[in-house]
Structure 1
Amino acid sequence: MDILTSLVENNDGTFLLGGYAQTGVAGSIKKDSKINDYVAIKISVEGEELWKKTVCSNGEDLLKKVIETRDGGYLMGGYL
């Protein structure tokens, strides 16, 4: 993750880190062409990665906020 934009302590004591990361663009003419993708990483209290999810579109994706919902799910908000 290149830029951390959100940190949530979950009800079960774990943490959710949200932000965005630069990734290479497949099939790009420019070798160094990069775009941003949403990244969410759930970690334990000890800092162990439990899971990682990436969300991307064909353009710049800038995740601004992640929140835990009442049913234990997550909402991700930002720009696509």
Structure 2
Amino acid sequence: MFRNTIQRDAAKQIVQSTLLTPLIRKNELAVLLNVSTKTIERWTKNEFLPPPFRTKAGRTIGWPEHQLEEWSVIMRR
């Protein structure tokens, strides 16, 4: 999959930083944004929100806090 160790190391760092970052679950995000969880699902499907972090099995865990902070800065522009 990765052609060299630099790419593999970079991928590991991204995964590790994501795992160490607090994750915001869908219901928490809905409360923060004052919308329904169905709206969160729709925004994710339509790529209005960044994709949530998922396990290898495909189960959604939540959004890394830093990712949502970056998203909110972009949306304010």
What is the TM-score when the length of structure 2 is the normalising length? 0.24
Relative to its length, the structure with more strand (as a share) is: 1
What is the TM-score when the length of structure 1 is the normalising length? 0.24
